[in-house]
Amino acid sequence: MANTTAPKTTANATDANTKLPRAAFWDMDGTLINSEPIWHEAELWFARQYGGDWSEEMGWKVTGTPVPQVAQMMIDRGTKLGVEELTAGIIDFVAKREMEQMPWMPGVLDVLVATRDAGIPNVLVTASPRAMAESAVAQAPEGVFAAYVCHDDVTEKKPHPAPFLAAAAKLGIKGDEIRECIALEDSAVGLESAARSGATTIALTGYIRSDNPPSKNGPQFACIETWDGVTPQMFHDLVELRLKSGR
């Protein structure tokens, strides 16, 4: 069984006829796929080819940072490329690796399929470019994603709530109805974005190494360590518990 933690609650339940959750919103990097090692491999490759003082440790310290910012940090440390060129190169490196074989987190495909089969629409919500989002959707089991929101779709990025609000809008979910959706994230930036949108936010804490991990006392409603044993019923129970809590 998955190891979860959630607060105790005392308030009244929502309408018993409401199907919960209305939707599941999924972050990609660090939640659905173990892509961070590939990003760091790309950074190190460009540092070797074009100079600069960069290391794997530095890469882990900037996990979750937008690629243009990472590119600027590398340039500041001596990499001889422009920001746009280095950003595009890193993204292309990672995209090619992921198109060859998507590094899915252990057990996550089973959860996606079970959620789809339970009639809960899954939406991918990622800060990655469209090509990378579409690659993930294409390599996932057929029909597990009802829609996706990527970097190109929203002006405001995580930690702004816009990506998750856009995901809800794609399904016709309005206003406070987003509270009846579950959002699955692993980074502090992503958790803030999801929580600010109003979605019932769950932190995945057990897979990815990070020098700045999300706090277990962060904005999320509950934590899941791994995908082992996670079921649609668990998602239902967490949303129902959150609604009862009044949070």
- Asked which of 51, 67, 100 is the last residue of a domain, the reply is 100
The contacts found for 133-138 with CB under 8 angstroms, 24 or more apart, are: 133/28, 135/95, 135/98, 135/99, 135/102, 136/28, 136/32, 136/33, 136/98, 136/102
- Residues 30, 40: one domain? no
Contact 122, 24 (CB under 8 A): yes
pLDDT of residue 81: 98
Query: Residue written as tokens 């809590």?
Result: 245
CATH code of the domain in which 66 resides: 1.10.150
- Residues 133, 152: one domain? yes
Output the DSSP codes for 132-190: HHHHHHHHSSTT-EEEEE-GGG-SSPTTSSHHHHHHHHHTT--GGGGGGSEEEE-SHHH
In the chain, the number of structural domains is 2
- Residues 77, 169: one domain? no
Output the DSSP codes for 49-90: HH-----HHHHHHTTTS-HHHHHHHHHHTT--S-HHHHHHHH
- Residues 10, 132: one domain? yes
- Asked which of 54, 82, 100 is the last residue of a domain, the reply is 100
- Asked which of 47, 70, 100 is the last residue of a domain, the reply is 100
**Domain range for residue 44?**
36-100
pLDDT one digit per residue (tens) for the chain, 247 residues: 455 554 433 333 445 555 789 999 999 999 999 998 999 999 999 999 999 999 999 998 887 777 888 999 999 999 999 999 999 999 999 999 999 999 999 999 999 999 999 999 999 999 888 989 999 999 999 999 999 999 999 999 999 999 999 999 999 999 999 999 999 999 888 999 999 999 999 999 987 665 555 666 789 999 999 999 999 999 999 999 999 998 8
